[in-house]
Structure formats: structure tokens, C-alpha cells
């Protein structure tokens, strides 16, 4: 389904931002250009014309050009990034520190709860991996995605084959659309496009405990 949200949402909110910033920085992005040219035709929109983010539908994207931002200084201002402060911080000498020791290898589950948000490929892989070591709950607020995912998994385990050839089998504690499970979370992983971050933050805010770590995908 070439009209599915992985194209209609992820392309204008994620890929168009990346391409737009690359254009501002003068970074050549030939593979992105090829994929974006194909994707915009699939969804019937025009974001990029002759390699530039100036298509008729650019205003429907998260590209900097959609807000009239066409140079790096304007991007920093819009992003509220203080270039001088960053330069000053980078110039400060840093005391040497001992490298952190890697955690001991163990197949034992740790007393730590992770919420993985989303229902796409990244969320499902993350859920399988985190479930190996931690109490893990998958949460999707999109329509009935959580119910379908839970029904499809049934009593089976996730089975992931790593690039090392190792096969991982694990199972999350739950797959749900109930945001109140955020009260259990020590860490929340937002494996969803950036446009959906706000929806999850608002739903979780009344339930989150102090010190909960939140990790976002860069899209």
C-alpha cells in the first residue's frame, strides 16, 4: 500500500526535514534524492524539484524551507541554538574520565521497566530486544494497532535473528493502548515519527514518575 502512513507521514515529516537541512548545509544526498523523488510520486505530492526543496507542497512538510528558512544561521535561530555558547562550551577543557565499564553479560531480566512506543518495524524490533533483559511494555496510541499486534503475537514469542547469527526469543509483558502504564516506566522509547511525539507526551505526562528517561527517534 503506497498510500500507507509510512509514506504519507514519514516522508514529509522525516525525510523532507533531513533533505532540507542537508540542502542548507550543502551536503550531497543522492540516495535521499532518489527515494524522495520516488516517494513524492507515490503519494501525489511535490516537495523536491530539480534536487531543491521548493515544490508546490513544501508547506505540508517539516523541511526548514517550509518556514522560509534557507540558511544555517536562520536554522539555528529557529531551533533556539546559541552557536556562540556551543563554541564556548566546546573550548572549555574537560577533565579526563575513566571509561565506563560495560555491564556484565547476563540473560537475567533486570528490575527496570521499558515502554516502547509505536507499532512499526523499529518499535517491534526494540520491543523484542528490550524484552530480553527488561520488563517491557509496548504501547501504540494509533487506532487499534496495539490490539491487532497483541492478537497477532498471541502466546508466541518474538524471534529476532541478529547480524551475529544469534537468534533472540523474548516476549513483552504487555502490548496496549493504555497510557497509564507510563507510571511503571523507568525508560520510555518513542519509536514513532516526530509528528506523533506530542501525542504520546501529552498522554503520558499525568502518569510519568520523576526521573523517567525518555528516548526519541531522531525523525
E strand or H helix that includes residue 189: strand 187-190
**Cβ burial, residue 156 (10 Å; 0-12/13-18/19+):** exposed
Q: For the CA atoms of 160, 139, 13, 11, what is the dihedral angle to 10 degrees?
A: 40
Q: Nearest to residue 69, comparing CAs of 84, 56, 54? A: 54
pLDDT of residue 194: 76
pLDDT at residue number 102: 57
What's the pLDDT at 38?
94
How would you class 203 by CB atoms within 10 Å of its CB: exposed for 0-12, middle for 13-18, buried for 19 or more? middle
Q: How is residue 91 written as a grid cell? A: 573550548
pLDDT at 197: 86
- The residues, any chain, with a CB within 8 Å of residue 18's CB and separated by 6 or more, are 29, 32
Q: Given this model, what pLDDT does residue 9 score?
A: 85
For 160, list phi and psi in degrees, rounded to 5. -115, 135
Query: According to the model, what pLDDT value does residue 4 have?
Result: 76
Instruction: Report how far residue 12's alpha carbon sits from residue 58's, in angstroms, rounded to the nearest whole number.
Output: 8
d(CA 39, CA 142): 23
pTM of the model: 0.59
Low-confidence residues in the chain, pLDDT < 50: 219
Q: What is the pLDDT of residue 129?
A: 92
Amino acid at each position: 500500500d503506497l498510500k500507507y502512513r509510512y509514506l504519507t507521514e514519514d516522508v514529509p515529516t522525516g525525510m523532507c526535514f533531513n533533505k532540507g537541512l542537508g540542502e542548507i548545509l550543502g551536503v550531497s544526498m543522492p540516495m535521499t534524492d532518489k527515494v524522495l523523488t520516488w516517494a513524492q510520486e507515490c503519494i501525489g505530492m511535490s516537495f523536491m524539484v530539480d534536487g531543491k526543496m521548493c515544490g508546490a507542497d513544501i508547506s505540508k512538510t517539516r523541511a526548514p524551507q517550509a518556514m522560509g528558512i534557507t540558511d544555517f544561521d536562520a536554522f539555528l535561530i529557529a531551533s533556539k541554538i546559541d552557536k556562540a555558547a556551543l563554541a564556548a562550551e566546546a573550548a572549555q577543557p574537560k577533565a579526563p574520565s575513566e571509561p565506563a565499564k560495560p555491564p556484565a553479560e547476563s540473560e537475567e531480566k533486570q528490575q527496570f521497566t521499558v515502554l516502547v512506543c509505536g507499532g512499526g518495524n523499529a518499535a517491534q524490533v526494540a520491543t523484542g530486544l528490550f524484552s530480553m533483559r527488561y520488563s517491557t511494555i509496548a504501547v501504540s496510541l494509533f487506532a487499534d494497532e496495539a490490539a491487532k499486534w497483541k492478537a497477532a503475537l498471541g502466546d508466541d514469542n518474538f524471534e529476532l535473528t541478529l547480524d551475529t547469527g544469534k537468534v533472540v526469543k523474548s516476549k513483552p509483558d504487555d502490548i496496549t493502548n493504555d497510557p497509564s502504564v507510563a507510571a511503571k516506566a523507568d525508560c520510555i522509547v518513542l519509536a514513532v515519527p516526530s509528528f506523533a511525539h506530542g501525542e504520546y507526551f501529552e498522554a503520558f505526562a499525568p502518569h510519568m514518575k520523576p526521573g523517567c528517561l525518555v528516548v526519541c527517534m531522531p525523525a
